Amino acid sequence: MSLLDLFRAKPAPMPSDAIGALVRDTYETAWRGWVAARQQRLATWSSQLKAEDEEIKRDLQRLRTHSRHLAKNNPVMARYLRLLQTNVIGHTGIQLQCDIRRGKKPLEARNTEVEQAWSWWGGSCSTDGRNMLDLLWSTIAQVAQDGEVLFRKVYGTAWRCGFALEPVDPDRLDHTLNDAQKRIVMGVEQDIWGRPVAYHLWTQHPDSPGERRRERVPASEIIHLYRPQASRQSRGVPWSAPVMLTLNLLGRYWEAEVAAAAHEASRAGFIESDLDQMGDERPTPQDLEIGPITYVGLPPGAHVNVPDVKHPNTALDGFSTAMLRIVASGLSVAHASLANDRGDANYGSQRGGLLDERDNYRVLQVWLIMSFLQPLFDAWLPLARMAGKVSYQSDPKPSWAGRGWDWIDPAKDVKAAIDALNAKIETRTRILAQKGLVFRDVMQELADEEDFAGSLGIDLTPAQQAPPPAPEPKEDDDAAA
């Protein structure tokens, strides 16, 4: 047989099991790897690898505009911003605590001097006269809404300690200014390592009337707060970006359901005319309104086929709950807190959700301290010394006490804290810090209470509780017999 005959010969049929194995091997070879890497009709993926800044350049303005719209008009977004203000900042703010010592002995007078000077400056620390607590509230809300916050350091005798912060609208940082040769990315001029060198700011908001121009401000005068999620990321994006579309569609769905329910409730019926009794007259249909109820007038001979539509929809609650759980996951808060809904939450699920949510708030507190408060304190301290408000010249060893939370189950958690203290695996300082309290302040308050009560002849020593009575022995029936 020649070589040509071999090619012309019909191949023998392959057994069915062998065909199945060949198909499986071919499929696995073609799709070996990650399923998520496949381009499918039902999946929407980005097919290009781009630097984070390139994507931010394209979408920053729309993302910020949409986020501000949600903050103004969507109750869930408004609730999220309030949760950040309440839990990250709280009603007392983030407090400065100094730890100046001589050997092991704390120098309370020195510590109090620095802390009181900081508190006094914080009473009016911005150019518009706002205090530190108000500044922190607006900062955490704006950085979540807009993705970033800017402050400019201002010096002069008009401010306390000759120093103040000017809040800068992030819209003034021109995101359309990009120059590869000068290393300017969205208005931020950088060195070869990506460190900001200068910020190119508009002298006023781009939408404000009047003349405006760009001003190059050295980076040493700017505090730029945002949470980068990629290397060499120059600008921040709104924190709600992953759930922004879901929130918008959910809000529109609620609006439509409320409008439909209001329409159904206000429409009582229709008024029809009988053609046989009217003759040649054809009066104009008239609507009849009785309070909020409307009877719609129809032309003679007209009939209406009203669909049986029931509003509000019975599936509204279940669907909204499912969507809000997705939104809460994207915002890293508990669903019960975001939706203000604790109807189906038991003790275990509520505790687990709250603990996870509070851990996220603590992360934000640490980020705010390291990125904003500590650099601000380092810039303020030399000026406070020059102004004569702080006489201590060495490092005051500052630390910061953020807002804490009460225990979910006080009786069990207090007992666990006492057991940890007795086992010497926990300290009072850390236990109190979890509640947002400072050990030194608590001890001072206890001493003040004891002194004041003693001056009035009152003993604050807690009374010894009597032990519970021992159970009565049960009589053995066999012994009694």
Helices then strands, counting H and E runs in the chain, come out as: 15, 14
CB atoms inside a 10 Å sphere around CB 410: 9
pLDDT at 81: 97
pLDDT at 427: 87
pLDDT at 260: 80
Read off the pTM: 0.78
Kindly give the parts of the chain with pLDDT less than 70: 1-32, 47, 266-296, 298, 300-309, 342-350, 408, 463-481
pLDDT at 365: 96
> How far is residue 373's CA from residue 398's CA, in Å, rounded to a whole number?
11
239: Cβ contacts below 8 Å, ≥ 6 apart: 143, 144, 145, 147, 227, 331
Task: Indicate the helix (H) or strand (E) that contains 3.
Answer: helix 3-8
> How far is residue 174's CA from residue 61's CA, in Å, rounded to a whole number?
11
CB atoms inside a 10 Å sphere around CB 41: 5
Closest CA to 199 of 181, 220, 217, 175: 217
Please report, rounded to a whole number, the percentage of residues in the chain having pLDDT higher than 70. 77
Rg of the chain, C-alpha, whole Å: 35
pLDDT at 300: 67
